[in-house]
Amino acid sequence: MRCLVTGGGGFIGHHLVKRLKRDGLYVVGADLKLPEFESTLADEFMVLDLRQEKDCRKAVDGCEWVYHLAADMGGIQYISNYQAEIVRNNTRIDLNVLEASKGLGVKRILYTSSACVYPAYLQGDEHARALKEEDAYPAMPEPGYGWEKLYAELMFQYFREDYALDSRIVRFHNIFGELGTYDGGREKSPAAICRKVALAKDGDEIEIWGDGNQIRSYCYIDDCIDGILKIMNCDYPLPVNIGTDRAVTINELVDIVSKIAGKTLKKRYDPTKPKGVRSRNADTTLIEKLVGWKASTSLEAGLERTYRWIEGELRKAGRIK
């Protein structure tokens, strides 16, 4: 089978390309850029701008299944500061990919949505319950990025209902791991914390955004890829969470990474920086019931691998002696 991975130059997309190749498929990657940290294993890789209709058609042409991961995205600071640009770029990409897939006879397409679609009113305090898929409505998602992801889910639903374009939808909850961005403003909290800890000396102080009591759950990249493949191969067309139900505070995340690094560090809090919702955690009951998927990598094991990789990259760059 010939598969397309849009966003194949990004963190999750690059890992997905590697897994699909390992599974024996013919893989086409498409993105604005090649993977940053290692060469792609795609059979073909097209450097394209999927905001352009002709580029989307070129990428999709001849592919039977499409894994649509391409998006303008980043950590909380990035998605808070560039809302108009994110909505404009992602709406163009999503609609172009849908139109190309409909017009060129794609048999199945998977859309990667986000936990940012969930309402802020369900994530306001430390006692917030884990989020189920049906909790997305009544809607009040993350401004900008979250709204675009939510109405894009509906676009995929409408194309399925009106044009019989067979689709699947997954909602990612804080995916992390090696080969992901760890600096520059688009990194997520696990990578940012790993970088800060790696650059600090024992006894140093590191900056934490907010008061450190924000709650999140995190899913390691290998488990995420397993979940994507299981959902793509099942018959369920509605949104499904991919994440874990283990909730930790940012303070606890820092402590885990510090222990991995063998360092004792002080925390300096900056309440002026973007913090996101107070508490977000994934209910994974549905995906367990549908396909028997449950994350198998512990947070500690995933962070160990991620930290060692980021530490190694910083050493190669001469930022750690």
Rounded Cα gap, residues 190 and 240, in angstroms: 23
Q: Which DSSP state fits 201?
A: P
Residue listed under structure tokens 């402590």:
255
The residue from 82, 118, 145, 220 that is catalytic is 145
Cα separation, 50 vs 253, whole angstroms: 35
Q: Taking a C-beta distance cutoff of 8 angstroms, is the pair 90, 146 a contact?
A: no
**8-state DSSP, 283:** -
The maximal CA–CA distance of the chain, rounded, in angstroms, is: 60
78 given a catalytic annotation:
no
Is residue 320 a contact partner of residue 198, using CB atoms and an 8 Å limit? yes
Residue 125 Cα to chain centre, angstroms: 24
- Name 309's Cβ contacts closer than 8 Å, sequence gap at least 6: 178, 179
3 within 8 A of 47, measured Cβ to Cβ? no
Rg of the chain, C-alpha, whole Å: 19
CA distance 180 to 116: 19
* Cβ atoms 37, 9 nearer than 8 A: no
Length of the chain: 321
Catalytic residue positions, numbered:
145
